[in-house]
Chain A
Amino acid sequence: MKLWLAVRCPGLPLELLTRGLDPVPPLVVCEDHQVLLASEAARQAGIQPGMRLATARTLCDHLHTAERDTGREERALHRLGERLLDITPRVSVAPPDSLLLDIGACLRLFGGLDPLLEQTRQRLADSGLSTRPGLGPTPLAARELTLRPLADSRACFFADDPEAAFRALLAEQPLTELHLSGKLRQRLTAPGFRTLGEILELPRHTLGKRHGRALLTWLERLLGERGDERQFLAPAERFRDEQEFPDPVAHTDGLIFPMHRLLEALATHLRRRQESVTAIHWHFRPLKGPAQTMTVERAQPAHDVDTWLELTRRRLEHLRLHEPVLVLVLESGPPLERAVCGGDLLTEPDARANRHELFDRLATLPGLSCITPREHDEPLPEAAERDRDPRQAPAAEPAPELPFDEPPLWLLNPPRPLPLRGDHLVWNDAELEWLPGEQRYSSHWWRPEPPVREYRTVRHPAGFCCRVFRDRRSGQWYLQGIF
């Protein structure tokens, strides 16, 4: 059987601004200087939808106002629809406030209608939006029936003749609440009609002559007599969600709670797609000017909320907001397919924790250099070592062979020039004692200026030994390392 589920968000323009806020300030969303929706605090001050904005301002001193943004509402509907893509792949956005889900083919998968409705309710629960569901045999019928309690349309589905039951229920719909243009509704109610049933009893061609072809098409789609082709949502490659604040947030502490909500949405998105990410980007958009961006990276792809939030929080500690934030945007980096869980059946009792988590945490400390040395097959000691970020994969090249003699334990890079006083080298006013043994080193003879060095070992009066060398070209002595 054909069955559609419609989800309507009656308070969408207002709730997009108030979700995640506690307490909700007195706030109205207006369109053409008229109040469209008012928050609870604003309604308590006596503000009603339909009121002039100027009147509302006189009723409440600290009233926050926001202009309606249909683009934002449509984007929010898209994101809400993406949450439902694992209920059915056929999710369609019906602006200004509804989502239409073709669930006829998915009932058996979920074990019936009720489990499916429960799953849908769970996915919508943490969106911060109030939703009104409705069922119907066609998309338009389902949307009209969101105006009634879900129990009514659900009862029709379980009736002996569902088609007739839905039609009877639709017939009871008052004309004033139908999703039709205001003018058409006025023209329909003018002769004294009250419900949709009374219209349906009229001869169609007369109705078409009087109210136009558009009404007839709408009626045929509503009743399923004409096909209703819809465009379905394609899942987005990368996650992107945003939170707008009625009052710009100047302090980073105020961002933690909305960040948690956005990260939870990201985790849900990633779980459904069985993906992980290695980077997320936070954009802090002020009222004017360019957005400030903060990137949080991890060494290994991950999808858990807690660690992402902890790393974000640590980054925030050292972030200075240039401007108060009006919109907070979370964008994920390129998604990677989630690795199959490779856990061992028997873990070693003394196994160490995952070191990448430590590297991730250390990377959020500003001014901390955290490196792992990487060796190269170079004969000059100072050229043989380079720094590597421990979060990157280790080098594939094999480690160079170990030298025959004992290398110094500490390396000076670059080598430190030492002056010669009389027969002795001097380091910080201390004369260094020569030890026997000399090594000559020459390499890179094909270069125009090949390095030729004479290595010696010396002892500091404090009791430790150093390796020094003389550059044969300049005659200058250098301290290479300390044993």
Chain B
Amino acid sequence: MDTPASSLDHLLHRPDVWRARDGRRCSGETVLPSGWPELDQALHLGGWPAHGLTEWLLDGSCPQALRLLLPALPEADNGLVVLAGAPARPHTRALRRAGLNPEQLLLLRARDPETLMRACRECAASDTAAVLVAWLPRRLHQPRNLQKLHRAARLGRCLLVLMRDVRDAEQPSPAPLRLVLDSRPPGDLAVRVEKQPGGWAGQRLQLPVLPEHLRYPPEVPTDHPPAPEPVQRPRPEMPAPRPGTEPGEELPG
């Protein structure tokens, strides 16, 4: 005999019933798992929208924001991972440790912002880049430009992450997903979902993006000197390597 719950379940499984909250099933959107289970849980799609523009609104300087993307990079579908206009040079060893093949990495930089914008659009639309992270000057963040970037990323099957300032949160944007990121408390990344496809926004989470020893270090004594003063000790006389021998051969053991 059917209980009310099972008949409801039966009803819900009918293909012509559309469930508003069930974004994963009905959107048909390609999803890139973020690698953070809490974040995947908070996003209705179940991960990053793999094709299109995503905005990260940074509260102040937030250099560890890119760490949020690192677990997703090995899943990057054998496409390029492009960093455009990055404020500093990413350390290849850190990216390789995260599982990214350095051959997939492409760094773009240009003095003229328009050139960088054009390069970003072409990269995103080329169907070769799986992930593109862009730091563009604020004056290029007009909705028209963002619309172009979004269209290019959809066309080229690219996850385009645009780094913006949190002050731009009030600005209209065509990006389906907008996150506000904050690096306080130290060592964690505070994530607030500003806007997301498939349902309501406003979720807040704390993600431990830094390794344990950098997040909660034990108390440091206040009188800890910065470092011992350099002591000028005479260097022990090292035997000069014989010509034609490798330096390592002189070492004992």
Answer yes or no: are A and B bound together in one complex.
yes
Q: Which residues of A contact B (CB under 8 A)?
A: 350, 352-355, 357-358, 361-362, 365-375, 381, 384-385, 390, 394, 399, 402-403, 406-413, 420, 423-425, 433-438, 445-446, 454, 456-457, 459-460, 462-465, 470, 472-473, 475, 477, 481-483
B97 to A437, Cβ gap below 8 A?
no
Q: A352-B77, A355-B128, A365-B119 are in contact. List 7 more A-B contacts (CB 8 A).
A: A361-B126, A372-B106, A402-B97, A409-B67, A410-B91, A465-B214, A477-B226
* Nearest CB of chain B from residue A150's CB, rounded to whole Å: 50
Residues of B within 8 A of A366 (CB): 115
From known contacts A420-B226, A436-B218, A456-B227, infer whether A409 and B127 are also in contact, taking CB-CB under 8 Å: no
Point out the residues of chain A lying under 8 angstroms from B127, CB to CB: 352-353
Known: A368-B116, A375-B102, A472-B230. A403 touches B93 (CB 8 A): yes
* B interface list, Cβ under 8 A from A: 60-64, 66-67, 77-80, 87-97, 102-103, 105-112, 115-116, 118-119, 122-123, 126-130, 157, 182-187, 210-211, 213-214, 217-218, 220, 224-227, 229-230, 238, 240-241, 247, 250
B92-A385 in contact (CB<8A): yes
B95 to chain A: which residues have CB within 8 Å?
409
| Contacts known (A352-B128, A459-B186, A462-B183); A370 close to B108, Cβ less than 8 A | yes
Contact of B110 among A369, A371, A423 (CB under 8 A): A369
Note all chain B residues with C-beta closer than 8 A to A465.
186-187, 210, 214
**Chain B nearest Cβ from A416, distance in angstroms:** 10
Give the residues in chain B near A370, CB-CB below 8 Å. Answer: 106-108, 119
Whether B63 and A372, one on each chain, are in contact in the complex, defined by CB atoms closer than 8 angstroms, is no
Q: Which A-chain residue is minimally distant from B97 (CB atoms)?
A: A402
Residues of B within 8 A of A433 (CB): 220
Complex interface: chain B residues within 8 A of A407 (CB): 91, 93-94, 97
* Contact present for A424 and B226 (CB under 8 Å): yes
Determine the chain B residues whose CB is within 8 A of the CB of A437 once the complex forms: 213
Q: Given A370-B119, A445-B238, check contact A463 B187 (CB 8 Å).
A: yes
Tell me if A423 and B226 are in contact (CB < 8 A).
yes
Whole-angstrom CA separation of A409 from B86 in the bound complex: 12
Query: Which residues of A lie under 8 Å from residue B185 when comparing CB positions?
Result: 463
Contacts of B241 in A (CB 8 A): 446
B87 cross-chain contacts in A, Cβ below 8 A: 410
Q: What is the minimal beta-carbon distance from A453 to any residue of chain B, in angstroms?
A: 11
Residues of chain B within 8 A (CB-CB) of A373 are 89-90, 92, 102, 105, 107
Are A411 and B88 within 8 A (Cβ)?
Answer: yes
**Does the CB pair A406–B119 fall under 8 Å?**
no
CB contacts (< 8 Å) of B123 on chain A: these are: 358, 362
- Contact call A446/B247, Cβ cutoff below 8 A: yes
Contact B211 A406 (CB under 8 A): yes
Q: Are A365 and B213 in contact (CB under 8 A)?
A: no
Q: Which residue on B lies nearest to A445, using beta carbons?
A: B238
Known A402-B97, A407-B97, A483-B214; contact A470-B110, beta-carbon cutoff 8 A: no
User: Which residue of chain A is the closest to B238 with respect to CB atoms?
Assistant: A445
Q: A410-B91, A459-B186, A464-B61 are in contact. Are A365 and B115 (CB under 8 A)?
A: yes
Say how far A393's CB is from chain B's closest CB, in angstroms: 10
Which of these, A374, A435, A445, contacts B220 with CB under 8 Å? A435
Contact of B102 among A372, A425, A456, A470 (CB under 8 A): A372
* Closest A residue by C-beta to B95: A409
Q: Which residue of B lies closest to A454 (CB)?
A: B227
Chain A residues closer than 8 Å to B108, beta-carbon distance: 362, 368-370
Is A464 within 8 A of B128, CB to CB? no
Given contacts A352-B79, A372-B103, contact A362 B91 (CB under 8 A): no
The interface residues of chain B lying within 8 Å CB-to-CB of A463 are 182-187
Residues of B within 8 A of A483 (CB): 63-64, 210, 214
Of chain A, the residue at the smallest CB distance from B248 is A446
A contact residues around B92 at 8 Å (CB):
373, 375, 385
Contact B90 A409, beta carbon cutoff 8 Å: yes
Q: Write out the residue numbers on chain A whose beta carbons fall within 8 Å of the beta carbon of B94.
A: 406-409
**A367, chain B: closest CB distance, angstroms:** 5
Contact A409 B64 (CB under 8 A): yes
Query: Which residue of chain B lies nearest to A430 when distances are taken between CB atoms in the complex?
Result: B61
Contact A409 B62 (CB under 8 A): no
Once the chains bind, are A367 and B111 in contact (CB under 8 Å)?
Answer: yes
A410 touches B103 (CB 8 A): no
Between-chain CB contacts (< 8 Å), 21 pairs: A352-B78, A352-B128, A358-B122, A358-B126, A362-B119, A368-B108, A368-B119, A384-B93, A394-B103, A406-B214, A408-B91, A411-B89, A435-B214, A459-B186, A462-B184, A463-B186, A463-B187, A465-B186, A470-B230, A473-B230, A483-B64
Distance A470 CA – B227 CA, assembled complex (angstroms): 9
The 7 nearest A-B residue pairs measured at CB: A463-B183, A353-B127, A355-B128, A411-B91, A410-B88, A358-B126, A463-B186
Q: Are B63 and A482 in contact (CB under 8 A)?
A: yes
B50 to chain A, nearest CB (A): 11
